[in-house]
């Protein structure tokens, strides 16, 4: 599980930031995405609830980096859900490689193409 920082400009060149939360199952490669306006533990908790609801099987382990959004409240929420929360080693994105690669694919296949053709005011989907 990881967060991708997104930055867009509207028609008046005002910058907008969004945060794409992504989770991928190691075995099936099933992926869940959700975009938030904020980057905090409350969003991470909402997102993990979304993932648990959407994945068609029971999740056992959640692997994240050491970002502030995945600390105390999030960690204990995972425990309450019966999920083992494991932190990857600092400065080791290769340990979260499937999510990192999916972010690159999103950038190449969606964000660059979509936002090159037309400027959007929001990412509301």
Domain positions in the chain are 2-103
State residue 125's pLDDT score: 46
State residue 105's pLDDT score: 65
State residue 122's pLDDT score: 55
The yes/no answer on whether domain 2-103 falls in CATH 3.40.50.300 is no
Q: Which of 30, 1, 10 is nearest to 19 (CA)?
A: 1
State residue 82's pLDDT score: 97
Low-confidence ranges of the chain (pLDDT < 70): 93-95, 97, 100-105, 107-125
Cβ neighbours of residue 83 closer than 8 Å, sequence gap 6 or more: 48, 52, 59, 60, 61, 62
Angle of helix 72-80 versus helix 41-54 axis, rounded to 10: 30
CA angle, 62 as apex, 8 and 124 as ends, to 5°? 25
């Amino acid at each position: 599980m990881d967060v991708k920082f997104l930055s867009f400009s509207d028609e008046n060149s005002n910058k907008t930031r969004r945060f794409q939360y992504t989770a991928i199952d190691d075995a099936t490669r099933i992926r869940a995405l959700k975009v938030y306006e904020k980057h905090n533990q409350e969003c991470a908790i909402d997102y993990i609830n979304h993932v648990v609801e959407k994945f068609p099987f029971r999740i056992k382990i959640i692997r994240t980096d050491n970002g502030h959004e995945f600390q105390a409240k999030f960690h204990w929420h995972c425990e309450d859900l019966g999920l083992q929360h494991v932190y990857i080693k600092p400065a080791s994105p290769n340990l979260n490689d499937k999510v990192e690669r999916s972010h690159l694919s999103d950038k190449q296949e969606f964000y660059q193409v979509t936002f090159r053709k037309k400027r959007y005011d929001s990412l509301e989907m």
